[in-house]
Amino acid sequence: MPALSLIRELEQALNNGSSDKRVELLRRLTGLFLNEADRLSEQQVALFDDVLRQLTEHVEHKALAAISSVLAPLSNAPPELVLRLANNDDIVVAQPVLTRSRRLTEGDLIQIAKSKGQGHLLAISQRDFITPPVTDVLVERGNQRVFHTLAANGGAHFSAFGFETVLKRAEQDGALAERVGLRLDLPPNLLQQLLERATGTVRTRLLASAPPERKQQIEQLLAGVAESVTQEAVGSRDFSFSETLVQQLNRSGKLNETLLCEFVREGKYEEMTSTLALFCGAPVEFIERLLKNVRPDGLIVACKSVKLSWPTVREILKMRFSHHSLSDQEAEDAKTDFISLSQAAAQRTLRFMLVQENAKLTG
């Protein structure tokens, strides 16, 4: 076969050729491989693989990027060369084969995803088929662009861990929530979880963008979410036990901001509300109304008046939004308001609010 004869001649020239000569030999041999690819056995491909890898050891990245683009779509591309190109630190070289080459195994992709940068992870996330073990690594290490690309990629398959990780990130990213919510492979229980935590805007967009086979399911789940939110807002709570508890803790010197944070993080709504009420010297029903108010202004005033720190206030706001994810912008706006408000002004405002409250009760 003429091709094999040329390969032997090229092997002899490897040790004496200049960089330009190597590039020219690489171009010629790659062209020959493309012409013969459909007729080559795996043994013959391995021969090309060996010579091409030697030629690519000392050539500029521009030439490597060109061969990567040429070999990426070939199902029988030289496997060792493809793997070397995929591991190249220059994403321009690695991207074509990372995105398209079928020669890369699941193990290859996992190893690269664990060891390379965000550009490599993004390239892998664009593949037309991604197994759950690979996706798991991508969501463990990937940035926002990787998450968005995976969520929009119908060929990416997620494990339970993968979906849960994406949903966690989506709590602070409305656009990501929309993308993952439109996936037909998202289990119903996780879709419900996403809808419960999403903003009203995200829910509306999801319903408008959903394909017919998903729209009815989203409508049914949204109806359930709405009912749950209504019950949460209007349902009565018994604060008798929590008020007694926090008074005892206060008398023993154990009630402080650290314990309040524990109540918040453990989802102990009654204990949190009763603690805030005691700190503010306000009726627990008054504090509960602040927590349920659509706007957080009054709650910010109450927290600032008793000198709570911003991290604590942010945790309280997150619990307050139990059925509505606190977006990054909402959190940033609340932080700005909290920091700009002086404690003295907050205390005066709270006293005025309590006078108004008392007037309503006695009027």
Q: Does the residue 221 lie in any domain?
A: no
Give just the sign of the alpha carbon dihedral 56, 62, 65, 71. negative
| Domain membership flag for residue 13 | yes
CA pair distance 142, 241, nearest whole angstrom: 45
> For the chain, what is the domain count?
2
Choose the final residue of a domain: 53, 71, 104. Answer: 104
Q: How far is CA 175 from the centre of its chain?
A: 11
Range of the domain at 79: 1-104
pLDDT band per the 50, 70, 90 thresholds, residue 361: low
First to last CA, the chain: 104
- Mean per-residue pLDDT, 341-357: 89
Residue 78 covered by a domain:
yes
Helical segments of 41-103, H only: 42-55, 61-71, 79-86, 91-100
pLDDT band at 208 (very low <50, low <70, confident <90, very high): confident
Residue 310 domain-assigned? yes
Mean pLDDT over all residues of the chain? 85
Contacts by 141-150, CB closer than 8 A, 24 or more apart:
141/113, 141/114, 142/118, 143/118, 144/169, 144/173, 144/176, 145/118, 146/118, 146/121, 146/122, 147/173, 147/176, 148/175, 148/176, 148/179, 149/122, 149/125, 150/125
Please report whether residue 333 resides in a domain: yes
Is this prediction's pTM over 0.75?
A: no
170 falls within a domain: no
Asked if 14 and 29 count as a contact pair (C-beta separation under 8 A), the reply is no
Q: Evaluate if residue 134 carries a pLDDT over 70.
A: yes
Please give the structure tokens belonging to residue 82.
Answer: 């493809």
Q: What is the pLDDT of residues 35-67, one digit of tens each?
A: 777 788 888 888 888 888 887 887 788 889 999
The pLDDT score that the predictor gives to residue 356 is 79
Q: Residue range 307-329: average pLDDT?
A: 77
pLDDT of residue 233: 45
Instruction: Examine residue 291 and state whether it is found in any structural domain, yes or no.
Output: yes
Instruction: Tell me which of 75, 104, 133 is where a domain ends.
Output: 104
Contact 108, 100 (CB under 8 A): no
Sign of CA dihedral 70, 73, 78, 84: positive
**Average pLDDT, integer, range 153-159:** 96
